[in-house]
Structure 1
Amino acid sequence: MSAGTIPSSSDPLRDEIPAARATPLWREAIPYLGTLAIFALIFWRIPIRKVEQALSQVPILDFLAVFMPYSLFYCAIDSACLTWVVRRFNARMRYSDILPIRASMYVLALINTSLAQGGVAYYLHRKAGVTFLSALSSVLFIAMLEIYQLFLFSTLGVIFYTPVGVAQTRIVAILRVVYIAAWALLAGIMIFFAIARRSARIRNWVENGRAGALLATFIQARPLDYLVVLAIKAPTFLASVVAQYYALALYGIAIPFVKLMLFLPLVFLAAALPISVAHLGTSQAAWLLFFSTNASPAKIVAYSLAAQLTFMLCNALIGLVFLPRASRELTELRAEPASSSATA
């Protein structure tokens, strides 16, 4: 099947999409309870009125002027990375095909990151005629390397940053151990799949396992592919550090650039934990942990809330611009198999 061929209604590729399972109520409640618990702890230590007062001093228009260009840059690079991975492992697709769906999924990602990833995979499945799980494998491959991109820059920060005080010295010492383990894990993953490519027995064991289809991209990926994805994504983190650095200065908070390089990845990693809603709570706790010595706790919380919500707003605005086109194309893709079967 060539790229761009849409499977018919009897095509087994359509049947490969796993049926949605009802999520237990207690599991759905975890992010909401986690968010409430974290904010309860924060405001137990910091009077909420002080945070409100600090929020009233946030230069919102200046923040938009900083974060909107960053969001546009992030969207462009993010779409370029997805295009390269899809072309490398799945199907020949154009950047102009990928950009609308990738941008529109930012709106869904505000609610649930996993749903947004699944939405991208579903579009690739319908648009390019690739299996849903193989498309999802490529999306997960990028997601894993996005985490390691944060590890990469934070590792550089650990090397060049001189900790101040006993607490930071302990944190940096722990980070060094964690990073050694994390990079060893990545090396182990790459070595395992390299062996699987050479051993028919191991490859068959992986491919025939329950997660075999989800590991399709990992089996094909070679060390150079990992480096290419990291290289494509790297400018987005560097741009985020620059954006945060200037936004902090606009708000009257001075944080050394190298310190941002070291600890900002940890803030992003904390925000990615699936225990809060829209990445709120965990991000504020991480900002307090690493940057409370640079300004009053109330001002740090206010900045983290304002910066995060501004970035989310910018992403949502970009997503809303592309949403009509993405929705129209998905509707057309759903209608094509029905019209094809009717004419047959």
Structure 2
Amino acid sequence: MSEDTRLPMRPDNLAPRDEIPAPRATPFWRKAIPYLGTIVIFALIFWRIPIRKVEQALSQVPVLKFLAVFMPYSLFYCAIDSACLTWVVRRFNARMRYRDILPIRASMYVLALINTSLAQGGVAYYLHRKAGVSFLSALSSVLFIAMLEIYQLFLFSTLGVIFYTPVGDAQVRIVAILRVVYIVAWAMLAGIITFFAIARRSTPIRNWVETGRAGALLATFIQARPLDYLVVLAIKAPTFLASVVAQYYALALYGIAVPFVKLMLFLPLVFLAAALPIAVAHLGTSQAAWLLFFSGNASAAKIVAYSLAAQLTFMLCNALIGMVFLPRASRELTALRAETASTSATV
């Protein structure tokens, strides 16, 4: 995308408010699903593992050492995450600076602890207000990154499948299933890239996509070329490698030895399980995945205790970073609302 085609950052180019879809009331049963899912998963875990053993294992967690491992990783993750968002926004939406995006990206970590979708919407809303781009176009860029974050996990887990030697019948079966799943997943990504490449060259297909109900949400996908996918994966890749290193040393601090290649193979699946929208704050599904893939490396109680301690420590570090930037992000959003109201009053 050429520099002159990007939208300038000026108040008179602000997108109209009606571009933001009106929020719909979420049915009570849908709100209850994550809470029920969390309760059910933990009930199943503690039905098999005595809760007192988990409590005893938790009391042995080196909390300060965990913070010393996960805080640098959280800071590194925030820096790379903001850099990726900056690149995508500049490529597809508007000229924005890293220092403008960092506060809102970091502050949304607080909201992401409760609801990832709300955090994504918050980033898109900020871009809409700050840069004057369409809310749905900004959300399209956020979703583009979210999709490639999933494929980043597939990428490293695929490398793990290639280099890891399964131990035992259970792991052999899991790896065999993963190979099939990954072939399907990469074929789907190839299909997505191919479809939108054809849409860019075919006016009828492009018009059909852009005029459809999800047309605005697909704006970034239509513009994105294969190189753009590779660039985003390359920018995000260091965050996963850093997470493997952080988990590797945190496990060692807790007395659990897991081969590095095994972590690279199965840790992406733990993260994917944690991302499932059936639990609160990613709890429950993550612990179940840790038990499934790493129960052979320590007692079940110790694995559950580690997964809880590591996850809560990482969440705490992200929340602390978010709280540092939250006042600045809040002031900026308030100023943008006031500026918009002033502009509307003078028209």
TM-score (norm: length of structure 1): 0.97
Aligned pairs, how many? 344
Q: Distance in 2 between matches of 1:12 and 1:317?
A: 35
Identity %: 90
User: Where does residue 12 of structure 1 map in the other structure?
Assistant: 13
- Asked whether the equivalents of residues 32 and 277 of structure 1 are also in contact (C-alpha less than 8 Å), the reply is yes
SS of equivalent to 2:9: coil
1:9 Cα deviation from its structure 2 partner: 14
**Structure 1 pair 66–9 and aligned structure 2 pair: CA distance change class (3 A):** closer
1:3 Cα deviation from its structure 2 partner: 11
Q: Deviations over 1:251-302 (max 9, x none)?
A: 0000000000000000000000000000000000000000000000000000
- Asked whether the equivalents of residues 16 and 133 of structure 1 are also in contact (C-alpha less than 8 Å), the reply is yes
**Structure 1 pair 8–161 and aligned structure 2 pair: CA distance change class (3 A):** closer
Q: Tell me if 1:147 matches 2:155.
A: no
**Structure 1 pair 9–318 and aligned structure 2 pair: CA distance change class (3 A):** closer
Q: Deviations over 1:219-259 (max 9, x none)?
A: 00000000000000000000000000000000000000000
Q: Distance in 2 between matches of 1:222 and 1:337?
A: 34
Q: Distance in 1 between matches of 2:234 and 2:191?
A: 21
Q: Distance in 2 between matches of 1:58 and 1:88?
A: 44
User: Where does residue 251 of structure 2 map in the other structure?
Assistant: 248
1:7 Cα deviation from its structure 2 partner: 11
- Asked whether the equivalents of residues 8 and 340 of structure 1 are also in contact (C-alpha less than 8 Å), the reply is no
SS of equivalent to 2:188: helix
User: Where does residue 91 of structure 2 map in the other structure?
Assistant: 88
1:22 Cα deviation from its structure 2 partner: 0.3
Q: Distance in 2 between matches of 1:260 and 1:7?
A: 44
- Asked whether the equivalents of residues 197 and 219 of structure 1 are also in contact (C-alpha less than 8 Å), the reply is yes
SS of equivalent to 2:258: coil
Q: Distance in 2 between matches of 1:4 and 1:44?
A: 61
**Structure 1 pair 220–58 and aligned structure 2 pair: CA distance change class (3 A):** same
Among candidates 187, 191, 198, match of residue 188 of structure 1: 191
**Structure 1 pair 10–75 and aligned structure 2 pair: CA distance change class (3 A):** closer
Among candidates 116, 123, 126, match of residue 120 of structure 1: 123
Q: Tell me if 1:267 matches 2:270.
A: yes
Q: Deviations over 1:115-143 (max 9, x none)?
A: 00000000000000000000000000000
1:339 Cα deviation from its structure 2 partner: 1.4
- CA root-mean-square deviation: 2.3
User: Where does residue 2 of structure 1 map in the other structure?
Assistant: 2
- Asked whether the equivalents of residues 190 and 223 of structure 1 are also in contact (C-alpha less than 8 Å), the reply is yes
Q: Distance in 2 between matches of 1:243 and 1:131?
A: 38
Structure 1: runs of 5+ lacking an equivalent: none
Following TM superposition, the consecutive aligned residue runs of length 4 or more in structure 1 with deviations greater than 4 angstroms are 1-13
Q: Distance in 1 between matches of 2:248 and 2:23?
A: 42
- Asked whether the equivalents of residues 35 and 277 of structure 1 are also in contact (C-alpha less than 8 Å), the reply is yes
1:337 Cα deviation from its structure 2 partner: 1.4
User: Where does residue 341 of structure 1 map in the other structure?
Assistant: 344
Q: Deviations over 1:23-63 (max 9, x none)?
A: 00000000000000000000000000000000000000000
**Structure 1 pair 203–265 and aligned structure 2 pair: CA distance change class (3 A):** same
Q: Distance in 2 between matches of 1:337 and 1:256?
A: 55
- Asked whether the equivalents of residues 149 and 234 of structure 1 are also in contact (C-alpha less than 8 Å), the reply is yes
Structure 2: runs of 5+ lacking an equivalent: none
